[in-house]
Each structure stands twice: as structure tokens, then as C-alpha cells.
Amino acid sequence: MKKKLIPLLLLFLVLVLLFFYALSTGSYSIGTDIFHSVGIIIHQLGFESIGEKYQLDKTSEIILLNLRLPRIFLTILTGMALSVAGAIYQACFKNPLVEPYLLGVSSGAAFGAALAIIMPFSLFIGQGQVLAFFFAILAVSISYFLATTKSKTSPLHLILSGIVVGAVFSALVSIIKYIAEDAQLREITFWMMGGFYYAHWQDVIISSIVVLPSIALAIIFSWQLNILSLGDEEATSLGINPNITRLAFLTIATLIASVCVSQVGIIAWVGLMIPHAARMLFGSDNRILLISSALMGAIYMLLCDTIARNLTSTEIPIGIISAILGSPYLIWLLRSKGRLIHAS
Amino acid sequence: MHLDPENHSHSGKSFPPNFTQKRYIETKRQIIPKDIFDPQTQVFCVENLSFAYAQKNIIDNVSFSLTQGELCGILGPNGSGKSTLFKCCMNFVPIKQGNISCFNENIKSTKVKNFAKKVAYVPQNDNTSFTFKVHEIIEMGRSPHRSILGLTNKDYAAIESAMENLGVAHLAKEYYHTLSGGQKQMVLIARAIAQESPLIFLDEPTSSLDFHNQIMVWNTLKSLTKKGATILVCCHDPNHILWFCDKVLCLKSGKLIAHGDPIDTLKNPILQHMFGDSCTISNVENVPVVHPRFFIEGE
């Protein structure tokens, strides 16, 4: 475990560097480089003595502190949350092919968001996000309820009921798309591709309140995930109640995935790919895997978003970048390390 | 080899002297301290257990008990309820009729964690889709003892001694799925030893092993019972039970048709009842052997 500390620290360092790089680039040129952006952050944190050199004009300040910074934080939180949720789902279902949207988070959220978009009136502030979150949780709860018989929940039943619930909500989204007007249809499609365009500090605060403690909790109890991934009977014989433990972990994973999806839309692929990549680099021990997934997810998401912001003058939806960039990397990992790491 | 079905006599374990002196992995650590080890103590007790699945009786009024330091085998044809009985004993399935107690505590009311401190389980083979290293697998055995702060030095000591006891210490850094069948089984037994539970239940531990490893595993189990462990094994091979076990439970259609010392119990009528006419028992150089009754002769 101690041997893996250095690679983890390196990952963290990469994340920090990328953070400052992302801050210094964008479609509006502030004329800063990485070192400059470090200085600005230190200056803004209240160390006035760092000097006049890092004073910003009003426009730059707004762009840097109210547009880029919250967006970068939201990107990091989302990357962490989706990757950790993916790793948890994979361990809970004993299946490395599972992603965090398995039980209907994405289709439920899509329905909620679409519903909010076609509503002719707005009931409350942030209606889209609240409805997306509510329906994401509702979809997963229905899946879980359908799969539970006699207070036992079999992973196979859960996967099946997740598929059923996902199909129903996708059909509902199709109905909404069918009756929606052109502008609304465009908005729904855009939402479903996911993106960080509208990131506010308020989103960052909500996300971090939910995501950070949840991830910390999952990491503390990650040794139970190892045991859970052996199967229900072995887990029981090792002193873990599989039903309760699985429910607890799925609740954590669903909660963090739903919060992120409701804020930034459906970002596919990350929750499946990053835990795999982390597993190939750091092994299957969930005590390391959750931490490394969180770091790698954050780096990856931030990298993709920075590219999405900078590659062309108009933004490319992040889902496209993350798939194009991620696939070759995963294939390379699979071919170079796959034989050692895959059980069959 | 002389097979002599007509003239076999069992008088205690009259194996030739070298039979029990084979080399095997001798476990060094005492599982139950010598001063409280008492072969008369009942540690596990099943009373009038019945289990039905979809209105079909799979276990029918079975009662037996295990005493400390006993190596007990469950024998029976396919579909006799062996696995179900085993699952009931492991508390994997809810028991409706009958009673199972472990150290005088009903297992229904025992918390999962406390039950794991009393009974360790060795599955047939580990079927995880993820690739753990050997030491990670064995560390999992400490989970019932684990506090929120993680593993303590005491835990690591238990893990290390378990690995040394079973001769898998040199495999600690290997990936579990790259090991041979025999090594895998040893790792899983080591996990059960690390769990420090006085009872160990094994589900067909030798089913996928070669003959050498089968004997290794059985001798290891035997040596564990000498250190105070009580072991229940689900097994398909009557010979293994004859050679190694202290007690046998013979199941047929969910009923316990016989139980007791294997050499006294596994005689032709019982074997016939379980397996039909296919096999019989003889003595080969004083060792009882169950073998096919008929051999098809070539032309």
C-alpha cells in the first residue's frame, strides 16, 4: 500500500498543474501563463503582499474567478464523482462492465431535465436541476424496489430491473421530444450531451457538499467493497451483510452520480473507463482504486473540458472529446497490461 | 493391487504405520489453546433441521453435532441435499424449521459479524471478476476483527502466520488468478486460518485438484484439527472421508441415513443405499478403499 503512495502523489501533482494550466487558457486571452495563474490564485486567497503584479482588471477578474474557476472545480468534482461511482457500481455488481448509469440515473435525470425544459412556466429556481436530480433518484429507487424480493436483492435482478426502468424513462423522454418545439428539442439534445457551460459557484458548492463527504465515506469503508466483490456468500462468511452493505454503497454512488448528472447533463464513458484504467495501473484493491479513480477521473475530465473549451472557437460537447480521447488510451492499456490483470 | 470385496474387515483405523506418516504441511499455531481444548465439547449442533424449496423437502429432519477438533465429512449423491445442508449451516439461507446452534448460540440470532468470528468458510473456488493479490485475499479474512481504523499489528501477525502455516508466504505478491488450483485452495484455507475462527467449513475443497494436491489439502485439514479446529467438509469422494475424516454424515434424499466413524459407517449396505450397485469397499494392504464393483472387460 505504501508503495502506491508515490504514484498517487504524482497523480495529484498532475491534477494541480492541469488546474493552473486550465485556468490560464481559454477563448478570451488574459495573457497569463501557468505561473501567472498560480500567482493570481495566491493573491486572491488574501496574500496581498505577493504584489501588484498579479492585480487583474475587472473583465479578467470576472472571467477568471466567476467563469473559469467554478467551471474547473465543477469539472474536477464531476470527474471524481462519476469515476468513484463507477468503481463502486463495478464492485457491488461483481462486474467490471458496469457503469454508474446502470440503474437508471441517466435516463431518470434526462426525463427530469426534459420535463423542466418543456414546462411553460418555472415553479422555482434551478427547476431543471432539481427535477433531474429527483427523477434520477426515483429511477434508481424503482429499480432497487423491483429487484428486491423477501428483503434480498440479487445483483442480476438489479441489472435487469435497471434496464427495464432505463427503457421506460427513455421512452418517456422520447415522448417529450416528440411533443417538444424545435428550440426545446435542441435544448434537450444539448443537455443530454453534457457540458460544463453554465457552471456557477452555486453548483460547485452544492456538488462539493454532496460529493466530497460521500467519496471520503466510500474510501473509509472501501475494504468492505473488496469483500462485497467476492459475492454474497463469501461476504456473509467474512462478516459483512451483503444486502445492507450493497445498499449503502449504491446509495452513495447514486447520490453523487445524480448530483453531477443533474448539474452538467449526461457525461458517458468516464464512469466506465476510468475505474478500468485505474484498476490496470493500481490493481483491484478498492482501498487504492477509489482514490486513484477519483484522481484520474478528475484529471481526465479536466483535460477533456480544457480541450473542449480551447480546440475551436465554439465549444465542442465534452462527451465527444471524452470518448475520442479515452478509447485509444483504454485499448492501449488493455493490450499492454490486460493479460496480467484480467481474471479470464 | 488385490481387490478383495468379499473379505474386508474394519477394526478401528488399522492402516499400516507409514500411512499416517506422509509429509504434509504441519500447521504450527494452535487454533484452540491446549488448556481449553476438549474433544468432548459440542461446538456445533444441528437439531431437527428441515428445509424446503418450492414445497419440495430438500433437507428432512436432520440432526447432528460436531465436537471440538473433529474433521467431519458430508457424503451423498448429487441432489441429496449436501449443498443445502451446508448452506443452512453457514447461515446463507434462512432456516424455517429446526435449530442450529454454534457455541450454544442460535445462529439465527447471531450477528453476521459475530458468526464470522466463529465460523470461517472456504468456497470451492473464488469466483471474483477482479484480480486481487494473494495477500489482499488473505487480508480479507481479518474483516470480522477489523476496526474502523484499519488493520492493526495483531491483524498483520495473524495474516503472516496463516500464510506461513500453509506455505503460501512466497506467493503473497502474486495475482491470485495466476496460481494453480492447489495453490488457490491453500490461499483460501489460509484466509480461513487468518480469520481465527474455531470452526472451518469447506465446500468440496478438492474438487478441482490433482491427486497430490487433494492429499495435501486433506492432510492440512487433519493437522488443523490437531490444533483444535473443528472442520466440516462437503465431499464427493468416499475414499477421502474414509482416509481422513473422524466422522461422516451420509445423506440421501435429504435424510441423514447414517453417521459416525467413517470406517464403521461406510459399509456396503450404506454405500449401496447412497450410490446403488456401482461401488463396493475392500481393504488394500489394510487401507479401506471404495472402488467400482464391476470393471468392463476388454475383448
In chain B, whose CA is at the least distance from the CA of A98? Answer: B129
Find out whether B85 and B72 touch, Cβ atoms under 8 Å. Answer: no
B241 in a structural domain:
yes
Least confident of B28-42, B116-130, B185-199: B28-42
What CA–CA distance (Å, rounded) separates A195 from A267?
8
Interface check A94 vs B, CB under 8 A: yes
Find out whether A254 and A137 touch, Cβ atoms under 8 Å. Answer: yes
B137 in a structural domain:
no
Q: Name the residue facing B175 among A236, A237, A340 (closest C-beta).
A: A340
The predicted structure's pLDDT at residue A338 = 57
Cβ–Cβ gap A238/B140 under 8 Å: yes
The predicted structure's pLDDT at residue A96 = 78
Give the pLDDT band (50/70/90) at residue B19. very low
What CA–CA distance (Å, rounded) separates B73 from B290?
16
B226 in a structural domain:
yes
Find out whether A256 and A85 touch, Cβ atoms under 8 Å. Answer: yes
Phi and psi (nearest 5°) for B282?
-140, 175
Convert the pLDDT of each residue in B118-139 to its tens digit: 999 988 876 677 888 899 999 9
CATH number of the domain within which B224 lies? 3.40.50.300
**H or E element: which one contains A153?**
strand A152-153
What residues of chain A lie within 8 A of the CB of B126, using their CB? 230, 234
Give the pLDDT band (50/70/90) at residue B18. very low
Q: State the total domains in chain A.
A: 1
Report CA-CA distances (Å) from B274 to A128, A207, B269: 67, 64, 9
B151 in a structural domain:
no
What residues of chain A lie within 8 A of the CB of B123, using their CB? 233-234
Q: DSSP alpha helices (H): ranges in B35-177?
A: 82-89, 112-118, 134-140, 153-165
The predicted structure's pLDDT at residue A127 = 83
What residues of chain A lie within 8 A of the CB of B114, using their CB? 239
What residue numbers bound the domain in which A54 lies? 2-341
Interface check A281 vs B, CB under 8 A: no
Find out whether B219 and B182 touch, Cβ atoms under 8 Å. Answer: no
Q: Quick check: B22 pLDDT over 50?
A: no
Helix axes A242-264, A201-220, angle to 10 degrees: 160
Return the beta strands (E) in chain B as ranges. Answer: 42-53, 56-67, 71-75, 97-102, 105-106, 119-122, 199-203, 230-234, 247-252, 255-260, 279-284, 287-292
What's the average model confidence in pLDDT over B271-284? 87
Q: Which three cell numbers stand for residue B120?
A: 470461517
Interface check B174 vs A, CB under 8 A: no
User: How many Cβ atoms are within 10 Å of A243's Cβ, its own excluded?
Assistant: 16
Cβ–Cβ gap B112/A239 under 8 Å: yes
Cβ–Cβ gap B112/A240 under 8 Å: yes
In chain A, whose CA is at the least distance from the CA of B119? Answer: A237
Ordered strands of the B105-106 beta sheet: B56-67, B42-53, B97-102, B105-106
The predicted structure's pLDDT at residue A135 = 94
**Separate counts of helices (H) and strands (E) for chain B:** 9, 12
Interface check B140 vs A, CB under 8 A: yes
Q: Which three cell numbers stand for residue A298?
A: 478528475
What CA–CA distance (Å, rounded) separates B227 from A110?
61
What's the average model confidence in pLDDT over B148-156? 83
What CA–CA distance (Å, rounded) separates B112 from B99?
17
Q: Quick check: B10 pLDDT over 60?
A: no
Interface check A338 vs B, CB under 8 A: no
Cβ–Cβ gap B128/A233 under 8 Å: no
Q: Quick check: B31 pLDDT over 80?
A: no
Interface check A226 vs B, CB under 8 A: yes
Q: Is the ipTM of this complex over 0.85?
A: no
Q: Which three cell numbers stand for residue A257?
A: 452520480
The predicted structure's pLDDT at residue A31 = 64
What CA–CA distance (Å, rounded) separates A232 from A241?
8
What CA–CA distance (Å, rounded) separates B160 from B145?
15
The predicted structure's pLDDT at residue B126 = 67
The predicted structure's pLDDT at residue B11 = 38
What residue numbers bound the domain in which B111 lies? 17-31+43-126+197-292
The predicted structure's pLDDT at residue A343 = 46
Which residues share a beta bridge with B279? Answer: B292
CATH number of the domain within which A88 lies? 1.10.3470.10
B239 in a structural domain:
yes
Convert the pLDDT of each residue in B68-82 to its tens digit: 889 999 998 888 888
Q: Which three cell numbers stand for residue B144?
A: 470480522
The one-letter amino acid at B143: S
- Predicted confidence pLDDT, tens digits, chain A (344 residues): 667 889 999 999 999 999 988 888 877 766 667 777 777 777 777 666 665 666 667 777 788 888 889 999 999 999 999 999 999 998 988 887 788 888 889 999 999 999 998 888 777 777 888 999 999 999 999 999 998 887 777 888 888 999 999 999 999 999 999 999 999 999 898 888 888 888 889 889 999 999 999 999 999 999 999 999 888 889 999 999 988 999 999 999 999 999 998 888 888 888 888 998 898 888 888 999 999 999 999 999 999 999 988 887 788 888 888 888 888 877 877 777 655 555 44
The predicted structure's pLDDT at residue B241 = 92
Q: State the total domains in chain B.
A: 1
CA-based nearest distance A107→chain B, Å: 27
